[in-house]
Structure 1
């Protein structure tokens, strides 16, 4: 094969690769809206707490953590309704969005699996727990170790849905975001008070020396921002990429 034919074959392969990447961006460019909507729901849940950002001298928390995190909430029933109404509405908006994209651009994403996972785990949560009426059980303290009933939180259905959305959208960023929300939720919700660090963790942070543990001086709103940041990053990247592709 002469040099001209080789160069022509190289250009053809490069064109095919650009077409493949453009098709992928077109098919999955719509992920920015559900990612942004989930981040918005997380940030909106700050309103469920009495002290979402400000420090307070004492904390009481109703269990299960219907606001999401183990901290003082304004009203357990309001928190319950926020997640059990807001989450299905989120999936309904997402369904309309993907239906519109499918009609306009002829591309389909497995969004029903995303919605089905979130709603299924949320329904399981509703079966396992009811609207709370009492405080955290007597004697519960951070030093008692993991409190696994703390996993009855509406944040985990959302985290599971994000990871499934990442699979459907072929987005490692969304999968990582779902894993990050899960990690933070498990840590924060299986001990009390919020942000407890066991002795081994504070020992590592202090560079050695025996420690009995401690707490990070962060409030629920700060942790919700940390959960939302990866989602907002994915949304921004996908939106910019989608607009650049159309241009």
Structure 2
């Protein structure tokens, strides 16, 4: 009798575990589309740079960096419009996606807070900086150290939205992807030219402490930012389609 009760309890616990897994998969199996959308927006922004893949002899960058990264833009106004139209459009697609999932599966995800965060920070940047027309500030050059004015970039609102959506989706992957985007943005946008390495990094690898410069271009960094989002999208989609 005792053995029978133990077997029944184990069977019940296993069934409950399967139900919890199924409920979680149903509720959070749609994170792949927002993750993919954020990644596509990041990679598409490479078209905003005059030299996205090749290194020019000279760079004429305008501040604030409305393209996202501190590099020469094709048109500052086009960069401004790209983010201020593209970001709301992305959130509109995400809203339609979650509305469809709510009707089909009867579950809701707290995505509106992510949209409010991303759009709110983006609007704040517009208030602080407006359309860019000026040269890069003198204090932003690599030899002078970090210059926080460089953080007037539309990449940070995107990173904040990814982090908040990750919390709503209970996705550590999305939270980590948002932190990764924010960290790369903070490094790349607080010095000029793009990819400057501070002196302490060369000391760590046995150098002279003079710093250095990576030869990567904006498109390369944007792909690096998008990679964790693509991984999250692939894993989430594979999990959602796994046989129940």
Tell me if both proteins adopt one fold, taking TM over 0.5 as the criterion: yes
Q: Distance in 2 between matches of 1:139 and 1:196?
A: 14
Per-residue Cα deviation, 1:104-155 (whole angstroms, up to 9, x for no partner) = 1101000111111111111111111111112213464201011100000000
Q: CA RMSD in A?
A: 1.1
Structure 1 residue 66, shift from structure 2 partner: 0.3
5 Å-filtered alignment, 1:222-237, equals 222-237=220-235
Per-residue Cα deviation, 1:154-213 (whole angstroms, up to 9, x for no partner) = 000000000000000000000000000000000000000100001110121xx3242211
Segments of 5+ residues of structure 1 without an aligned counterpart are none
Q: Which residue of 2 aligns with 1:39?
A: 39
Q: Which residue of 2 aligns with 1:244?
A: 242
SS of residue in 2 equivalent to 1:104: helix
Segments of 5+ residues of structure 2 without an aligned counterpart are none
Q: Which residue of 2 aligns with 1:123?
A: 123
Q: Distance in 1 between matches of 2:191 and 2:88?
A: 28
Q: Distance in 1 between matches of 2:207 and 2:127?
A: 45
Provide the TM-score with structure 1 as the length reference.
0.96
Whether the 8 Å contact between 2:139 and 2:147 is mirrored in structure 1 is no
Aligned length: 244
Q: Distance in 2 between matches of 1:127 and 1:70?
A: 20
Q: Which residue of 2 aligns with 1:190?
A: 190
Provide closer, same or farther for how the CA distance between residues 139 and 153 of structure 1 changes in structure 2, counting only shifts above 3 A. Answer: closer
Q: Distance in 2 between matches of 1:138 and 1:21?
A: 55
